[in-house]
Amino acid sequence: MPQQLASMIDPKALPPSLWADTVEEAPEAAPLDGDVVCDLAIVGAGFTGLSAALHAAREGASVVVLEASEPGWGASGRNGGEVLPGLKLLPEEICGLMGREAGEALVAFAEAGPDLVFELIERYAITCEATRAGWLRPAHTKSAEDGLKENLRQLVERGHAAEWLEAPDAAAQLGTDTWHGAMLDHRGGTVQPFGYARGLCRAALQEGARVCGSSPVSEVKRAGDGWQITARGGQVKAGKVLLATNAYTGCLSPGLNDRLALSIMPVSSFIVATEPLSHNLQKTILPQGQCFSDSRRFLLYGRKDAAGRMLLGGRGLLREPRGPDDFGHIEKALRQAYPMLADVRISHRWSGRLAVTPDYLPHVHEPEPGLLMALGYTGRGVALATALGGAMGRYAATGDQSHLPLPLTAITPIPFHGARALYAGALFTWYRALDALSN
Ligand X SMILES: Cc1cc2nc3c(=O)[nH]c(=O)nc-3n(C[C@H](O)[C@H](O)[C@H](O)COP(=O)(O)OP(=O)(O)OC[C@H]3O[C@@H](n4cnc5c(N)ncnc54)[C@H](O)[C@@H]3O)c2cc1C
**Spatial separation of the C-alpha atoms in residues 90 and 2, rounded to whole Å:** 32
**Is 48 or 295 the residue whose CB approaches ligand X more closely?**
48
Q: Residue 180 Cβ, how far from ligand X at the closest point, in Å?
A: 22
**Is 278 or 320 the residue whose CB approaches ligand X more closely?**
320
Q: Which string of x and - marks every residue 202-241 that binds ligand X (by CB under 6 A)?
A: --------------xx------------------------
Q: Residue 380 Cβ, how far from ligand X at the closest point, in Å?
A: 4
Which residues are CB-contacts of 345 (< 8 A; sequence separation ≥ 6)?
A: 274, 275
| Contact status, residue 187 vs residue 160, Cβ threshold 8 Å | yes
**Is 91 or 390 the residue whose CB approaches ligand X more closely?**
390
Q: What type of residue is 208?
A: G
Q: Does 87 bind ligand X (CB under 6 A)?
A: no
Q: Residue 439 Cβ, how far from ligand X at the closest point, in Å?
A: 24
Which range, of 102-110, 139-147, 162-170, 347-355, touches ligand X by CB under 6 A?
A: 347-355
Q: Is 22 exposed, middle or buried (0-12, 13-18, 19+ CB in 10 A)?
A: middle
Q: Does 333 bind ligand X (CB under 6 A)?
A: no
**Is 69 or 154 the residue whose CB approaches ligand X more closely?**
69
Pairing of strands 265-274, 346-356: antiparallel
Task: Kindly list the distances between the CA atom of residue 200 and the CA atoms of 12, 352, 353, in Å, as whole numbers in the listed order.
Answer: 21, 20, 20
| Contact status, residue 140 vs residue 215, Cβ threshold 8 Å | no
Residue nearest to ligand X (CB): 381
Size of the site for ligand X (CB under 6 A): 48
Q: Which string of x and - marks every residue 385-414 that binds ligand X (by CB under 6 A)?
A: x-----------------------------
In terms of Cα–Cα distance, which of 84, 82, 72 is closest to 17? 72
| Contact status, residue 23 vs residue 198, Cβ threshold 8 Å | yes
To which H or E segment does residue 83 belong?
Answer: strand 82-83
Report 186-205 residues binding ligand X (CB under 6 A).
none
**Is 153 or 259 the residue whose CB approaches ligand X more closely?**
259
Question: Pick from 79, 263, 274, 357: which binds ligand X (CB under 6 A)?
Answer: 79
In terms of Cα–Cα distance, which of 358, 419, 271 is closest to 88? 358
Q: Does 256 bind ligand X (CB under 6 A)?
A: yes
Q: Residue 280 Cβ, how far from ligand X at the closest point, in Å?
A: 26
Report 36-75 residues binding ligand X (CB under 6 A).
43-49, 66-69, 73-75
CB atoms within 10 A of CB 320: 16
Q: Does 290 bind ligand X (CB under 6 A)?
A: no
Pairing of strands 301-304, 310-315: antiparallel
**Spatial separation of the C-alpha atoms in residues 233 and 64, rounded to whole Å:** 13
**Is 167 or 427 the residue whose CB approaches ligand X more closely?**
427
Q: Does 377 bind ligand X (CB under 6 A)?
A: yes
Q: Residue 197 Cβ, how far from ligand X at the closest point, in Å?
A: 7
Question: Pick from 110, 247, 311, 361: which binds ligand X (CB under 6 A)?
Answer: 247
**Is 181 or 316 the residue whose CB approaches ligand X more closely?**
316
Q: Residue 190 Cβ, how far from ligand X at the closest point, in Å?
A: 8
Question: Pick from 199, 266, 381, 390: which binds ligand X (CB under 6 A)?
Answer: 381
Q: Does 245 bind ligand X (CB under 6 A)?
A: yes
Chain-centre distance for alpha carbon 412: 21
Phi/psi for 429 (5° steps) reads: -65, -45
Phi/psi for 314 (5° steps) reads: -170, 180
Pairing of strands 371-375, 301-304: unpaired
Report 293-312 residues binding ligand X (CB under 6 A).
301
**Is 167 or 245 the residue whose CB approaches ligand X more closely?**
245
To which H or E segment does residue 169 belong?
Answer: helix 167-174
**Is 91 or 213 the residue whose CB approaches ligand X more closely?**
213
Q: Residue 385 Cβ, how far from ligand X at the closest point, in Å?
A: 4
Which residues are CB-contacts of 88 (< 8 A; sequence separation ≥ 6)?
A: 360, 378, 379, 380
Q: Does 85 bind ligand X (CB under 6 A)?
A: no
In terms of Cα–Cα distance, which of 43, 110, 94, 57 is closest to 386? 110
**Spatial separation of the C-alpha atoms in residues 437 and 313, rounded to whole Å:** 21
Residue 46 DSSP one-character state: S
Q: Which residues bind ligand X (CB under 6 A)?
A: 11, 43-49, 66-69, 73-76, 78-82, 84, 216-217, 244-248, 252-253, 256, 269, 271, 301, 313, 351-354, 375, 377, 379-383, 385
